[in-house]
C-alpha cells in the first residue's frame, strides 16, 4: 500500500499477570508478596513498568475488613434488605461508608464514598473474601496506598514504578462493570491533549483521556474475579511521570452535569 | 513465599499497535488497508486475536463524513454555539444525529444517538479529519461494521477474528474520556459471573463485566489520538466466542437508574 508508518506510533504494550496463591492477610507486606509472586513467575520489574493491583488485596493487607457478625443493621437497612433479598449488614455497611446516597432504587444502592467515588454499595464487597463472613471495604486512602506500595517497590528493586489500585465500578447507561483507578502514584492519571494539534493541525480542544482508568481496564483483562490474579505489570505504555492521584479523576461536583 | 499459583491464572495479554500511514478514504477497503499495515509491521493474525479499530477510520471508509459547509445551522444551534464559542454546524449535526437530548448545559451537549449510545455531541467529531472542514459521524451500524470487517478478515486470512469498533466517551462523575466498544462481532461483550463461585465458594451474585469496553480501553493505550495508529491486535485474552453486539452494552432504559 506504500503507506508510511506514523512517526509517533506507539510500541507494543504487554499485560503480565502476577498470580498470587493463597490469601493476603492483614499486616502482611503486599510489596513483599507481590515481589515474591512476580519472581516465582520469572518476572522482573523494569524501568517504565506500571503495577496495577486490585484494591481488594490492598484492603486486606491494610486490615480494611469487617466481620459481618459485628454489624447491627438499622431498621431502615433491614427493611431495604428484606425487600430485595439482600444482606442487611452489607447494606448497613454501605450506608456507613458513604457520605451521600446518590440513588437508592430497586435494590441498587449508589453512593458517594468518603473519598468522593460514586459506586454501588460504597465499594463494600463480600465476594472473594471468605465465603461471606467478612466484607472488604475500600482502602481508607487509596492514593496513599498506591504511594506506599510505590515507595516500598523503589526500596526493594531500586526502580520507580507507577502504581494503580483498581476496583470494578458500574456506570450509568452501559451494562457491566469496568475497572477504574481508585488510587494512583507516580504517574499523571489524565493525559491532556487540549492545545495539542492532531496530524491535520486541528486543535484537540476537548480531549482529556483518563489513562489511569484505561490502564485499570487493561489490567482487568488478566486480573479476573476467579483467577487468583490480584495484580499485573503493564509494560511498554509510556506514561507521564509526575504527581497526581486518582482524586484527579473525580469530577468536581460543580463541573458535573449529573449532580 | 511458597504460595502456589492459582489454577485459573490468565496468561500474558499483548496489545500490538497497527499503525497506518496516510488517510483512510471513503470506499476504501479497511480490511485490506489494515492487513497491509499489519503485514508491513511483521504482524500476522493468529487464532484468538481480537482486532480493535477506532470508529473514525470505519466511518471514513464507510463515507460517514459530512462537509461542514453544507450544514445550515438552525437559530437554536447558532445561539447555543455563539454563547459557548462553538461551531454551530457541529452543534447542529450533533442534534440531527441524536434521538434525544440528555443534558444541554454550559456548552456541553449530551445526547442519545440513534443507536442508543449516550455521549457528547452524538459522537460527531472534527478532530483527526482534515483541519476542520469535515465532521466524522458514528458509523450507521457499528455492530454491522464490525461483523463486515470480521467476515472480510476471515476471507483474507482464514481465521475467525473478533472485532471491536471503539470510540472515546466521557462519563458522569469521572474526569477524562475512556474508550468504549460501540461495535462488536465474534465475541460476547459481557462476561457474566452470576451463579459462578469465587475461590471461597461465595456466589458472585451481581458481577457482569463489560469486557468489550475493557478491551477497547486496553486498545486505547496504543491507539492514541496523535499516533496515527487507528487499530491494534489484542492477543492472549481468552474471550467467549459467540454472538452479541455492542448493543448488549447499552443498558435498557427501564433498568437504568439514571434515565
CATH of the domain at B192: 3.30.1330.100
How many angstroms separate the CA atoms of B141 and B58, rounded?
11
Looking at A78, A111, A138, which one is the last position of a domain?
Answer: A138
pTM: 0.93
Give every CB contact of residue B155 below 8 A, 6+ residues apart in sequence.
Answer: none
Identify whether the C-beta of residue B53 lies closer than 8 Å to the C-beta of residue B229.
Answer: no
Radius of gyration of chain A (CA): 20
Residue B258 counted as domain residue:
no
- Please, which residues have CB within 8 angstroms of residue A207's CB and are 6 or more apart in sequence? A192, A193, A194, B127, B168, B177, B225
Domain assignment present for residue A158? The answer is yes
Q: Is A259 domain-assigned?
A: no
Domain containing residue B115: CATH number:
3.90.1660.10
Total domains in the fold of chain B: 2
pLDDT at A32: 97
The reply to whether A206 and A148 lie within a common domain is yes
Asked if residue B215 and residue B131 are part of one domain, the reply reads: no
Q: Identify whether residues A87 and A158 lie together within a single domain.
A: no
In a domain, B24, yes or no: yes
pLDDT for B23? 85
As a whole number, mean pLDDT of residues A214-228 equals 88
Residue B104 and residue A73: Cα distance in Å, rounded? 41
Residue B225: the pLDDT is 66
Does one domain contain both A134 and A173? no
Q: What is the pLDDT of residues A74-127, one digit of tens each?
A: 999 999 999 999 999 999 999 999 999 999 988 889 999 999 999 999 999 987
Per CB-CB distance under 8 Å, the chain B contacts of A126 are 202
CB distance from A217 to chain B under 8 Å? yes
Q: Is the dihedral of CA B93, B98, B99, B101 positive or negative?
A: negative
Are B210 and B97 found together in one domain? no
Q: What is the pLDDT of residues A4-55, one digit of tens each?
A: 333 345 799 999 999 998 889 999 999 999 999 999 999 999 999 999 999 9
Question: In the predicted model, is pLDDT for residue A204 greater than 90?
Answer: no
Q: Does one domain contain both B144 and B163?
A: yes
Rg (C-alpha) for chain B, rounded Å, is: 20
Q: Which domain holds residue A105?
A: 65-138
Mean pLDDT over each residue of chain A, to the nearest integer: 90
Helix (H, G, I), strand (E, B) or coil at B98: strand
| pLDDT the model gives residue A10 | 72
- Choose the final residue of a domain: B110, B138, B166: B138
Please provide the DSSP assignment of chain A as one string. Answer: --PPPPTT----EEEEEE---S---TT--HHHHHHHHHHHTT----TT-EEEEEHHHHHHHHT-EEEGGG----HHHHHHHHHHT--HHHHHHHHHTEEEEEEEETTEEEEEETTS-EEEGGG-B-TTSSSSSEEEPPPS-HHHHHHHHHHHHHHHHSS--EEEEEEEE--SSB-SBEEEEEEEESS-S-EE-TT-B-TTS-B-TT-EE-HHHHHHHHHHTTS-TTTT--EEEEES-----S---GGGGBPPGGG-TT-
Q: CA of A201, closest CA in chain B: separation in Å?
A: 6
Q: Distance, in angstroms, between A74 CA and closest chain B CA?
A: 23
CA distances from B4 to A21, A31, A42, B7, B214 (A): 5, 17, 14, 9, 28
Specify whether the CB–CB gap between A92 and A98 falls below 8 A: no
Q: Tell me how many residue pairs between chain A and chain B have CB atoms under 8 A apart.
A: 320
Average pLDDT, chain B: 90
Q: Both A118 and A145 in a single domain?
A: no
> Among candidates A136, A191, A158, A156, which has minimal Cα distance to A34?
A156
For residue B186, being part of any structural domain is answered with yes
Size of chain B, expressed as the number of residues it contains: 259
Residues of B in contact with A8 (CB under 8 A): 224, 226-228
What is the reported pLDDT for A40?
95
The C-alpha of A214 sits at a distance from chain B's nearest C-alpha, in angstroms, of 5
A76 and chain B in contact, CB less than 8 A: no
Residue A257: is its pLDDT beyond 90? no
Domain closes at, from B138, B157, B176: B138
Instruction: Report which of A55, A65, A16, A58 is spatially closest to residue A39, judged by C-alpha positions.
Output: A16
If contacts are CB pairs under 8 Å, which of residues 3-42 in chain A contact chain B? 3-17, 19-22, 32-33, 36-37, 40-41
Residue B229 has its nearest CB partner, among A10, A237, A249, at A10
pLDDT in tens, B157-210: 999 999 999 999 999 999 999 999 999 999 999 998 877 766 666 665 568 999
**Residue B173 contacts A where some CB pair is shorter than 8 Å:** yes
- φ, ψ (nearest 5 deg) of residue A111: -125, 165
Residues of chain B under the 50 pLDDT cut:
1-8
Give domain status of residue B28, yes or no.
yes
- At residue B120, the 3 state secondary structure works out as strand
Q: Which residue out of A111, A177, A196 would a mutagenesis test of the B interface target, given it has the greatest number of B Cβ atoms within 10 Å?
A: A177
Separation of alpha carbons B219 and B214, rounded Å: 9
Q: Is residue B76 part of a domain?
A: yes
Identify the pLDDT of residue A207: 83
Q: What count of other Cβ atoms lies within 10 Å of the Cβ of residue B141?
A: 16
Residue B75 forms contact with A (CB below 8 Å): no
> Which among A118, A120, A207 is the nearest to B173, CB-wise?
A118
CA dist B110 and B105 (Å) reads: 9
Does some domain include residue B7?
A: no
B217 with B150, same domain? yes
> Within this chain, do residues A226 and A106 fall inside the same structural domain, yes or no?
no
Shared domain for A59 and A181, answered yes or no, is yes
Tell me: do B55 and B77 sit in the same domain: no
Q: Are A80 and A101 in contact (CB under 8 A)?
A: no
Does B180 share its domain with B69?
Answer: no
Amino acid at each position: 500500500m506504500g503507506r508510511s508508518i506514523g512517526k509517533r506510533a506507539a510500541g507494543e504494550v504487554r499485560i503480565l499477570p502476577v498470580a498470587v496463591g493463597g490469601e493476603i492477610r492483614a499486616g502482611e507486606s503486599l510489596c513483599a508478596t507481590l515481589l515474591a509472586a512476580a519472581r516465582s513467575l520469572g518476572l522482573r520489574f523494569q524501568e517504565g513498568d506500571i503495577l496495577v493491583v486490585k484494591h481488594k488485596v490492598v484492603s486486606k493487607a491494610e486490615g480494611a475488613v469487617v466481620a459481618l457478625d459485628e454489624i447491627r443493621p438499622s431498621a431502615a437497612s433491614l427493611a431495604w434488605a428484606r425487600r430485595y433479598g439482600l444482606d442487611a449488614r452489607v447494606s448497613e455497611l454501605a450506608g456507613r461508608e458513604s457520605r451521600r446516597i446518590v440513588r437508592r432504587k430497586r435494590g441498587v444502592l449508589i453512593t458517594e464514598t468518603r473519598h468522593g467515588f460514586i459506586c454501588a454499595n460504597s465499594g463494600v464487597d463480600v465476594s472473594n473474601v471468605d465465603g461471606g463472613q467478612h466484607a472488604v471495604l475500600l482502602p481508607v486512602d487509596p492514593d496513599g496506598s498506591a504511594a506506599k506500595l510505590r515507595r516500598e517497590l523503589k526500596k526493594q528493586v531500586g526502580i520507580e514504578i507507577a502504581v494503580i489500585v483498581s476496583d470494578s465500578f458500574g456506570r450509568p447507561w452501559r451494562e457491566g462493570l469496568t475497572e477504574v483507578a481508585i488510587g494512583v502514584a507516580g504517574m499523571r492519571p489524565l493525559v491532556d491533549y487540549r492545545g495539542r494539534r492532531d496530524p491535520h493541525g486541528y486543535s484537540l480542544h476537548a480531549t482529556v483521556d483518563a489513562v489511569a482508568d484505561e490502564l485499570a481496564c487493561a489490567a482487568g483483562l488478566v486480573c479476573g474475579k476467579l483467577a487468583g490474579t490480584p495484580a499485573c505489570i503493564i509494560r511498554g505504555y509510556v506514561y507521564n511521570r509526575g504527581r497526581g492521584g486518582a482524586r484527579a479523576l473525580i469530577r468536581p461536583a460543580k463541573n458535573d452535569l449529573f449532580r
